[in-house]
Amino acid sequence: MANPLRGQVIKLYKTLLYLGREYPQGAAYFRGRLKSAFMKNKDVEDPEKIQKLVARGDFVIKELEALYFLRKYRAMKKRKDQSIQHKCLSSNDAV
Amino acid sequence: MSGRVLVGVKRVIDYAVKIRVKPDNSSVVTDGVKHSMNPFCEIAVEEAVKMKEKKFIKEVVVVSCGPQQAQETIRTALAMGADRGIHVDVTGKDYDNLGPLQVSKIMAALAKKEEAQLVILGKQAIDDDCNQTGQMTAALLDWPQGTFASEVTLEGDKMKVVREIDGGLETIKINTPAVITADLRLNTPRYATLPNIMKAKKKKIDKVKPADLGVDITSRLEVLRVDEPPHREAGVKLETVADLVDKLKEAGTI
């Protein structure tokens, strides 16, 4: 049980759980998927395979961060464009 | 030069939350609503932290004005890599009336007190969309300003700022100390990771009152009414082009 990689895996799980709080479909949805993904591989014993799975987890972390950033960036940009459009429209009315 | 940068951060309603107006039209509903750091303030923090990593500056100090919860926003900034926080305690009625002028007075007082070399702010907050705090802070300090920055480079005691203006970019060179306000494309803010948030709990947050800084925060503005934006009316489907032309003529567009 005392696998030297145990700490790494738990840390990965915690980080993903933390990131999942902002997931668009809700934290509960993300948590369910996360748990099943980890449970699916619970019997993996080969250290090399575990390393590979942890690396995949790290990749998912990066993807999630990028997703959140893009979502925010798009929302900000949309608002800016909307306000410009609004200004143009109201200036047209004045003419 | 002190090598200290002051960054203002604001706690606002999260960008993803649907805003609701209170039934009495006095303001928007904030109770039980998710709050987070203003996205433009995140960009400002990131820029300061990047400057520190490149060793252009020595210390990043984040400031937030508001009630106790403002400390959460300061913590997020500390987790992103800022060194120290200052929480300006403003509560109750004062907080409701806190506007850009009051905040800029506080920022100006703190910039002098901390002997800051640079003040970086977000260009605007997504809750009131005022876009005034940076400009007012620069005016109160009588410092040069680089607003809507999309690129900032330090060149000795001068600074080159590329600004986003209508339909293009403008490059200006200003003296330091200066006030910078961050636009959307300045950088991509890093995500405050869980371990860093834990580490940030050990960083120091000073608590001050506006009165300690000798700042008067009475507001001269009165909010008369807050309304939701008008709802978009549903469109209609037309059968033929002739119908469309008629409709357009009716609306006076052709």
Query: Which strand ranges, in their side-by-side order, compose the sheet holding B84-89?
Result: B168-175, B158-165, B145-155, B178-182, B118-122, B4-8, B59-66, B84-89, B205-208
- Segment A43-64, tens digit of pLDDT: 888 889 999 999 999 999 999 9
Alpha-carbon distances, residue B28 vs A67, B15, B33, B98, B221 (angstroms):
28, 14, 10, 15, 17
Among A76, A86, A90, most B C-beta atoms within 10 A, so best to mutate, is A76
Alpha-carbon gap: A18 to the closest alpha carbon of chain B (Å): 7
Q: Do residues B247 and B238 make contact, with C-beta atoms less than 8 angstroms apart?
A: yes
pLDDT in tens, B126-171: 988 999 999 999 999 999 999 999 999 988 889 999 999 988 999 9
Residues B87/B34, Cβ–Cβ less than 8 Å: no
Q: How far apart are CA B40 and CA B82, in angstroms?
A: 16
Q: Are B116 and B84 in contact (CB under 8 A)?
A: no
The yes-or-no verdict on residue A95 having pLDDT over 50 is no
For A71, the closest chain B residue by CA position comes to B16
List pLDDT tens digits, range A29-44.
Answer: 999 999 999 999 988 8
State how beta strands B145-155 and B35-37 pair.
unpaired
pLDDT tens digit sequence for B180-233? 999 999 999 998 888 898 999 999 999 999 999 999 998 888 889 999 888 888
| Tokens matching residue A53 | 């799975």
**B16 vs A: CB within 8 A:** yes
Check residue B235 and give its pLDDT.
84
- A interface with B, Cβ–Cβ below 8 Å: 14-15, 18-19, 65, 68-69, 71-73, 75-77, 79-80, 83
Q: Give the integer Cα–Cα distance in Å for B35 and B27.
A: 16
pLDDT for the residue B10: 95
What pLDDT shows up at residue B194? 86
- pLDDT of residue A93 exceeding 70: no
- Quote the CA–CA distance of B75 and B72 in Å, as a whole number: 5
Pairing of strands B145-155, B178-182: parallel
> Which of B18, B36, B188 to substitute to test the interface with A, most A CBs within 10 Å?
B188
* B139: its two tokens: 């005016």
Domains in chain B, number: 1
Q: Chain B: residue nearest A84 by CA? A: B166
Q: Of A15, A19, A75, which has the smallest distance from its Cβ to B15's Cβ? A: A75
Interacting residues of A54 by C-beta distance below 8 A, sequence separation 6+: A5, A8, A9, A12
Instruction: Round to whole Å and give the CA distance between B127 and B52.
Output: 29
Which pLDDT belongs to residue A94? 46
pLDDT confidence of residue B234? 83
Please, where are the H alpha helices in A1-95? 6-19, 27-40, 47-94
Q: What CATH number did the domain enclosing B50 receive?
A: 3.40.50.620
**How many other CB atoms are found less than 10 A from the CB of residue B246?**
12
- Percentage of chain B with pLDDT > 70? 99
Q: Which residue has the higher pLDDT, B254 or B82?
A: B82
What pLDDT does residue B167 have? Answer: 85
Interface A:B, Cβ pairs < 8 A: 26
Separation between Cα atoms, residue B110 and residue B134, nearest integer Å: 14
Phi, psi of B154 (to 5 degrees): -85, 130
Say if B241 is an interface residue toward chain A (CB within 8 Å).
no
| Residue A3 pLDDT greater than 80, yes or no | no
> In this structure, what token pair is assigned to residue B132?
């005034």
**Among the listed residues B60, B15, B52, B43, the one whose alpha carbon sits nearest the alpha carbon of residue B121:** B43
pTM for the predicted model, two decimal places: 0.85
Query: What is the domain extent for residue B65?
Result: 4-251
Contact status, residue B111 vs residue B230, Cβ threshold 8 Å: no
178-197 of B, contacting A, C-beta below 8 A = 184, 188-189, 191, 193-194
- Say if residues B71 and B87 touch (Cβ distance below 8 Å): yes
Residue A91 reports pLDDT greater than 60: no
Which of B:109-128 have CB within 8 Å of A?
A: 126
Give the pLDDT of residue A79.
Answer: 80
Q: Which residues of A touch B191 (CB under 8 A)?
A: 19, 65, 68-69
C-beta neighbour count of A55 within 10 angstroms: 11
pLDDT at A77 over 90: no
Cβ-nearest to B39 among A18, A19, A76: A76
pLDDT value of residue A86: 65
- Tell me if B184 and A68 make a contact (CB, 8 A cut-off): no
Q: Which of B188, B189, B194 sits opposite A18 (nearest CB)?
A: B194
Interface contact flag, B126 A79, Cβ < 8 Å:
yes
Render pLDDT for B42-95 as a digit per residue (tens, 0 to 9).
999 999 999 999 998 999 999 999 999 999 999 999 999 999 999 999 998 889
The yes-or-no verdict on residue B107 having pLDDT over 90 is yes
Q: Is B253 on the interface with A (CB under 8 A)?
A: no
pLDDT of residue B34: 92
Q: Do A20 and A31 meet the contact criterion of CB atoms below 8 Å apart?
A: yes
Helix (H, G, I), strand (E, B) or coil at B59: strand
Per DSSP, the residues of B78-135 read HHHT--EEEEEE--HHHHHT--HHHHHHHHHHHHHHTT-SEEEEES--TTT----HHH
Contacts of A73 in chain B (CB under 8 A): 184, 188
pLDDT at position B175 over 60: yes
Q: Is the pLDDT of residue B238 over 80?
A: yes
